[in-house]
Amino acid sequence: MTFIGEEPLSIRVQGAPYAVVMRTPGGEKAHVAGFCLGEGIVDHPADITNIAFCDGEDTNVVTVTLTPARRTQVAAHLDRRTYISQTSCGICGKSIVADLVQALSPVADGEPLSGKGALDCLQRLGDYQPLRDQTRAAHGAAIYDHAFNQLSVAEDVGRHNALDKAIGALFLDGRLPQARLLTLSSRISYELVQKAARARIPVILAISRPTALAVELAAALNITLASLGKDDSLMVYCNAHRLVWPR
């Protein structure tokens, strides 16, 4: 029997502790880059001058160095106490949606996607989850462009971490603007919608259904939300105009 790994990752910004997340080891730099984008610490790859392990052999501590200009922009945001993020959800409440809508801008429409093509990507997600096959305990996230070419895929014990890793890999490579579709193995919580909004990904599909707060936030941010339905169908919860189906 194989068990999935779970270890703490300490994220430091400008040498100071910012957060500790429990995650599956691997892809640490991409994970931290995606986390920092989702947190609003960075907006562009050029905001980062370096991401490095604090000790060459210790992959459990990663430090992010920002440009002087970015450091000034987020100084108030960085002046906070370290917190521990678990793999479960954080705080809830409709007030968080109102706050996030004010902090985030709606995602542009762009060209619609084939609903069938998007559904095919969701149904194939398990094909790219070897860790899940080995442990039965891993979440997955895969990102595609408009032609459904897979841009990145990641697995982790935490669904938030898997998404951070998938987004972060594209962010560091400068390919995140190509992202049009996100597929998830987990339910869709409002935090995952927030991360997708920060990455400007317009369509989210998941195996499991979303929470009420996730639907409310996605509707406000012009993000299409859908999950796997019966008989190879999609249940679309908001902004269905982005998915087109053959007649």
Q: What is the spatial distance between Cα 22 and Cα 159, in angstroms, rounded to a whole number? A: 11
Q: Known catalytic residue: 89? A: yes
User: Which residue is associated with the tokens 């892809």?
Assistant: 27
Q: Note the residue count of the chain.
A: 247
Joined together, the tokens standing for residue 13 give 């910004």
Q: Among the residues of the chain, which ranges form H helices?
A: 28-39, 68-73, 75-78, 94-103, 115-123, 130-135, 159-173, 190-199, 212-220
Contact (CB, 8 A) for 225 and 242: no
Identify the active-site residue in 36, 89, 121, 238. Answer: 89
5/108 Cα distance (integer angstroms): 38
Active site residue ranges: 89
